[in-house]
Amino acid sequence: MAHFYNVGVAGINLDSGLGIREAIFMKYSSAEKKGGNIIIPHRHGELHVPDKYFAGADVMLQVYLPFDVETDAITALSELARLFSSQTEVAVTQDDPYRGSIRAMVENLQDPIPTEDRFTYMFSLRNASGFWEDQAVTNISSGSPPAVVTGGDRPIHDMILTFSGPGFLQHTDDLGQVARVEIDAAAGAGTYVVDVGLGTCKKGGANQDEFVSITQPWIMKWQPDDTPSLTANVGVAASFRNKWA
Amino acid sequence: MAIWYEAWTLPWDAAGFKRKFFYLPTVEGSGRGTISFLTTQGEGIVDVPLDHLTAAGRDLTEIVSDTTASLIRVFDSLPDGTVTIIDEWVCERPARRHEDGRVATISGPPLKTKAFDGSIVRPFDYPANPTLTPDHIWGGDNVLSDPGFETPAVKNEQYELVRDGATGGNFTVTVDGQTTPSMAWNIGPVGLENNIEALSTVTDVLVTATSDGWTVEFHNPSEPGSFDWTPAFTGGGGDEEIKTTVEGLIEPSGTWTTSQHADASVNPHIHGTYATDGFRLTDPDSGFEPVHSGTYAARINGLSQFAGIQQIVQVEPGMTYQLSIWFWSSDASEEFRLVARDIYDNLITEDSFTNVTNATPSTWTEVTLELVVPEGIDTIIFRFAQTVDHNPDPFYVDDAAMNEGQPPTTWGDIVDILMGTRVDLFFWIDWAGVDVTNDSGSVVWPGEETVTVQFGETFGQLWDLGVDLGYEWNLIPKDTPVGGWDPLDETHELVWYVKAGMDADPSTAINPGPSVTGGESFNRIPAYTRVYVEGSEGVYVEDEDATALANFGPMEKYEFNTHLNSEATSQARAAELLSYESANRNAVRFELIATLGNPRPGVHFKPGDTIPMQLPPGLQKVEKRVQDFSYVNTYPAQYIVTGSRVLEGEAAAYNLLWRIWRRLNKPQKPRRSGGILPGGGGGMAHILIVSTSEPSNIQKKGDYVVPHTNSGASLQAIFDTVNDKWTIWMAGDFELDQNVTAPAGCRIRGLGYPAPVET
């Protein structure tokens, strides 16, 4: 029996909400890394650029329309298309047998694409972030440093770091690159929330940029399925969603 | 391998220098900037994604708006987390494209541009308004005329031959051992003149007849060694005699006189008394009269107190002058005073004099005095005189000076002084490492500069002057201290170095390797091989690159620079022009990409550092100073590094700019300030002498008023102050009760007007 992916679009379960009993997201589509290697004159081959970043990804959603009554198929297809009609990205969810319950923000780029089978349609979606991520947040309790263990198979770059006070959290990756987030003591006691993805640091909702310094342009970035090498001099809690291809 | 951006408040923000965005989101590949060596050029630009700001609860107006500006700091870092600021520019304008409001392009000039091109050198006498002395002058013009006494004024020796009524007989005349033929007692003046001029010891004399003899005026020589006659007359009183009516002298030029009142009508007019030859130049043939420099010095043999020498000088109200003169005297009892007085003989200020004793007799000694001319005074008397009231030995003076402005000083002192005048603007800059003695590397400055800095110039233009003279500068951000900056903290450091002093050898190189993606190099022919540099004095210097001249022939460049006050400083500029040309003849440009483990500009080397650069195909390795680098915020970051100021690809644009500059740039010859230089502007100096026979309204227009009876002495006193470049206008009636002589070459013209018609 085929795996039930329990696909949802914009909070609507395709099965229970639209009667589309079978739907599947293609696991790998066009995800690629940005940039390339470097061509050096008078050298064979290329110079490898390590630590490349992923581009946005195309996501293909294949749906099998209900056909008990012919009108059901058109209705389900149209309602599904309407769910994707948004001014911004739409959240999609699925229960993947390997990745678990994951989600992604996608944008529908065009009308549904018919296939040879009159009841099977494809939706060409664009995932700007390039990644799926856990529906559930992984919370690492405060530690100095926090005991972070990552999952997934794509880097985590948008963690939320909660500092219990001024101090630093430092990460050294496998290339020896040191990424350090430090909150100056002059900021004063309090809880500081660093949103690495947005590049903000707030205390009580107020920006604390004056007191924050970083050492790498990515601020902080953890590899998947890894125990990052962290040091800290203050208690830091971390919350993140594992990333997936 | 990537660069990122932060936004800060401006360093001069009254609330303090603070970080506004520890991470400024930017569009990859949109961020560009250029960091140049020794200039304030360049601009930074980057696109900011507005949706990201909105998602973060931020707004573009925090960065730049009608009321806000930011300092954008561009960072790069090493893998170990060492962070380097590679660029700082002031975000002064955002631009949002009409068709797409998702991205804002922010841009602005480098911090050093905003700091120094937006700051003005105030007038020297700030806050005086209107300003009397707008310019800051070091080692300015010597406003004295003939300061070294090298323009002698000749006084022809004159004799009178008295026949005492002779009615017959003959006589001969002997000049320096040569004797004329016997001449009749009644020979005419022309005949006598011809016979004297026929002597080998005489070239030119002027003989005129008197009622009882002749006068003989020597022109060449102006002063014979000996002159005598042998009369053998008959029929007269027998008391023939030869009189010396005018002693021949070589005197200081007419701008120098004995100490005296400026107003010729004051009685007594002359200060002190003098021996017969008490005011003359030294005799180069004497063998024992001292000279400080050149051929002549002035010799004053005063018999009483206040005998001395002076010059009346036009000055600028408010200007500072450095007065000096060298004196020599064998008399240990001598005492002197260098003094500045007004035309009424009052002290200019209560301390406008300095007294000196002859502590080291028979040694040239310099006396100095600084004078600030008060408002309302435009003429002073520069005077050096003996103050002892006995009759000492003669004294000598030479190399007088009255230089505008402050004494020459080092470039470090100039920077320190001028920065100090704008502490209101530059409180955030630390320049303590730049002082009068040492540069920022604790290297002693090579010498003193004689320059003028004008009110209204920007500090950026002032820094260009320093670079023109071969010095080097930079504005460097200081490390942010723990706790951040407090208001009024010095957040940046201004450094200045002697030539090549900022050069570093950072143990890195650009070779064909993992980070070099392209490049070009070339050797070009010189833009010039010979230079002419003209300074403010009108003095110009020539210099040339002998090797380049031999290889390429003469290619010339002229530069007129109003900042340069002396030949020495102009020479320094000429040398720097040639050095600059030579250093940039071999050009190298590299395209780099940031790679782990390989050097990156801004992090491993900076503009001003010398690093080896090596490119195929010839792989000639050259040591070049990095002139500039530009960056792009791609991943990995991309750079272009140049080792030359002028590159082939820019030649077209460069030549266009050169043509425009050449058309618009006309050397501005400033009005000469300070003392009168007769004819110095190409014209003539004029004075008007009015006699007391004229109405008072005419007398008020005169430079001098002279009595219409017994006018001789007053006129002579005036004529003694002029030289051959003057024109003397005279109006009214004058009585010549004595012979009056004027310098050969000067013009005397009468201002006539119709006499009233008598009916």
Residue type, B702: G
* Cross-chain Cβ contact A185/B482 below 8 Å: yes
| Rounded Cα gap, residues B420 and B418, in angstroms | 5
Query: In chain B, what percentage of residues exceed pLDDT 90?
Result: 51
Q: Do A41 and B77 touch (CB under 8 A)?
A: no
Determine whether the interchain pair A213/B480 forms a contact, defined as Cβ–Cβ distance below 8 Å: yes
Angle B738-B742-B743 (CA atoms, 0-180°, nearest 5)? Answer: 150
Using a CB-CB cut-off of 8 Å, the residues of chain A touching B634 are 35
Res. B688 pLDDT band, cuts 50 70 90: confident
Is A48 within 8 Å of chain B by CB?
Answer: no
Which helix (H) or strand (E) segment holds residue B465: the answer is: helix B459-468
Q: Looking at B351-500, which runs of residues are DSSP E strands?
A: 353-357, 365-372, 379-386, 395-404, 429-430, 452-453, 472-477, 492-497
**What pLDDT is attached to residue A144?**
95
Q: Specify whether the CB–CB gap between A195 and B58 falls below 8 A.
A: no
Is the per-residue pLDDT at B643 higher than 50? yes
* DSSP string computed for B658-707: HHHHHHH-----PPPPSS--TTTTSS-EEEEEEETTS-HHHHTT-SEEE-
Question: How many whole angstroms separate alpha carbon B583 and alpha carbon B527?
Answer: 12
Closest residue to A178, CB basis, from B4, B21, B80 = B80
Output the pLDDT for position B492: 97
Nearest-5° Cα angle at A76, A70 to A80: 155
Does residue B451 have a pLDDT over 70?
A: yes
| Rounded Cα–Cα distance for residues A99 and A109 (Å) | 25
Q: Phi and psi for B425 in degrees, rounded to 5? A: -95, -35
CB within 8 Å: B482 and A34: no
Of B77, B3, B78, B89, residue with least CA distance to B634: B3
Q: Which residues contact B366 (CB under 8 A, 6 or more apart)?
A: B324, B325, B326
Considering all CA atoms of chain A, what is the largest pairwise distance in Å, rounded to the nearest integer? 69
Give residue B635's Cα distance to chain centre.
53
Give the residues across from B70 on adjacent strands. B91
Distance from C-alpha of B8 to C-alpha of B115, rounded to nearest angstrom: 15
Q: What average pLDDT does the segment B36-65 reach? A: 89
Question: Poorest-confidence range of B167-171, B385-389, B631-635, B754-758?
Answer: B754-758
Residue identified by tokens 């009483």 is B304
**Residue in B closest to A170 by C-alpha:** B81
Q: Is the peptide bond before A145 cis (omega within 30 degrees of 0)?
A: yes
* CA atoms within 13 Å, Cβ hemisphere of A233: 9
Residues 6+ apart with CB under 8 A from B31: B3, B5, B44, B45, B46, B47, B74, B631, B632, B633
Nearest residue of B to residue A175, measured between CA atoms:
B79
Closest listed residue to residue A170, CA positions, set A219, A123, A128, A211: A219
Query: Which of B56, B80, B482 has its CB closest to that of A200?
Result: B56
Inter-chain contacts counted by CB atoms under 8 A, chains A and B: 101
Give the nearest chain B residue to A38 (CA atoms): B517
pLDDT band at residue B752, thresholds of 50, 70 and 90? low
Q: How confident is the model at residue B745 (pLDDT cuts 50, 70, 90)?
A: confident
Measuring CA to CA, how many Å separate A67 from each of A75, A81, A114, A118, B477?
Answer: 10, 17, 15, 10, 71
Is a pLDDT exceeding 50 seen at residue B675? no
Q: In 3D, which of B139, B152, B149, B723 has the Cα closest to residue B402?
A: B139
Q: Do A176 and B634 touch (CB under 8 A)?
A: no
Contacts of residue A22, Cβ cutoff 8 Å, sequence gap at least 6: A2, A63, A64
The DSSP 8-state label assigned to residue B181 in this structure reads P
Is A38 near chain B, with CB under 8 Å?
Answer: yes
pLDDT at residue B263 greater than cutoff 90: no
Worst-scoring range by mean pLDDT, B426-430, B491-495, B626-630, B725-729? B725-729
* Element of type H or E holding A138: strand A138-143
**B512 inside 8 A of chain A by CB:** yes
Above 80 in pLDDT, residue B700?
no
Nearest to B635 among A53, A210, A215 (CB): A53
Asked if the model's pLDDT at residue B100 lies above 80, the reply is no
Residue B684's pLDDT is what?
Answer: 52
**Would the pLDDT of B757 be above 60?**
no
In B562-575, which positions are buried (b, 16+ CB within 10 angstroms) versus exposed (e)? bbbbbebbbbbbbb
Look over chain B and give the mean of its residue pLDDT values, rounded to a whole number. 87
The answer to whether B449 and B414 are in contact (CB under 8 A) is yes
pLDDT digits (tens, 9 = 90+) for B411-434: 999 999 999 999 999 999 999 999
Tens-digit pLDDT profile for residues B64-87? 998 899 999 999 998 899 999 999
Which tens digit of pLDDT belongs to each residue from B299-353?
Answer: 999 888 899 999 999 998 889 999 999 999 999 989 999 999 998 888 988 889 9
**What ipTM is given for this predicted complex?**
0.86
On whether any CB of chain B is under 8 Å from the CB of A201, the answer is yes
Cβ contact (<8 Å) for A217 and B4?
Answer: yes
Q: Do the Cβ atoms of B214 and B243 come closer than 8 Å?
A: no
**Do the Cβ atoms of B25 and A199 come within 8 Å?**
yes
CA distance A85 to chain B (A): 20
A-proximal residues of B, 624-653, CB under 8 Å: 634-636
For the segment B187-246, what is each residue's pLDDT rounded down to a tens digit? 999 999 999 999 998 999 999 999 999 999 998 888 888 899 999 999 988 888 888 887
Q: Is A186 on the interface with B (CB under 8 A)?
A: yes
Task: Yes or no: say if B661 and B627 are a contact pair by the CB < 8 Å rule.
Answer: no
On whether the CB atoms of residues B226 and B242 are closer than 8 A, the answer is: no
The answer to whether the Cβ–Cβ distance between B595 and A38 falls below 8 Å is yes
Residues of A (144-183) whose Cβ lies below 8 Å from B: 170, 175-180
B23, B58, B63: which to substitute to probe chain A, counting the most A Cβ within 10 Å?
A: B23
Instruction: Give the closest-approach CA distance of B96 to chain A in angstroms.
Output: 21
CA–CA dist B153, B164 (Å, integer): 34
* Candidate from A47, A176, A215 with C-beta closest to B77: A215
Sheet holding B530-534, edge to edge: B540-544, B530-534, B556-560
Average pLDDT over residues B425-452: 94
User: What pLDDT is recorded for position A72?
Assistant: 83
Nearest CB among B3, B23, B82 relative to A219 is that of B23
Token pair recorded at residue B679: 């004819």
Q: A179 to chain B: nearest residue by CA?
A: B81
CB proximity A35 to B under 8 Å: yes
Cβ-Cβ contacts under 8 Å, B18 against chain A: 210
pLDDT at residue number B682: 45
Widest Cα–Cα separation across chain B:
131
CA distance B514 to chain A (A): 7
Contact: A217, B56; criterion CB under 8 Å: no
Structure-model confidence comparison of residues B35 and B664, the more confident one: B35
- Cα–Cα distance measured from residue A38 to residue A35, given in angstroms and rounded to the nearest whole number: 9
Residue of B nearest to A201 (CA): B22
For A38, which DSSP code? B
d(CA B522, CA A170): 47
User: Is A217 in contact with B3 (Cβ distance < 8 A)?
Assistant: yes
Q: Using a CB-CB distance cutoff of 8 angstroms, which residues of chain B are in contact with residue A40?
A: 513-514, 516-517
> Is B80 within 8 Å of chain A by CB?
yes
Residues B502 and B302: their CA atoms lie apart, in Å, by 58
Q: CA B195, CA B216: separation in Å to the nearest integer? A: 12
- Inter-chain touch A198–B83, beta carbons under 8 Å: no
Q: A42 touching B, CB under 8 A?
A: yes
Task: Give the model's pLDDT for residue B756.
Answer: 46
Tell me what pLDDT residue B654 has. 61
Instruction: Average the pLDDT over each of B33-37, B399-403, B467-471, B596-600 and give the range with the smallest value.
Output: B596-600
Whole-angstrom Cα distance, residue B743 to residue B256?
A: 13
Cis peptide upstream of residue B554 (ω within 30 degrees of 0): no
CA of A195: which chain B residue's CA is closest?
B56
Distance, in Å, from the CA atom of B368 to the CA atom of B355, rounded to the nearest integer, reads 10
Give the residues of chain A that fall short of pLDDT 50.
none
Contacts of A157 in chain B (CB under 8 A): none
**What pLDDT was estimated at residue B679?**
41
Amino acid letter for position A237: A
Residue closest to B744 by CA, chosen among B758, B725, B759: B725
Question: Residue B276's pLDDT is what?
Answer: 78
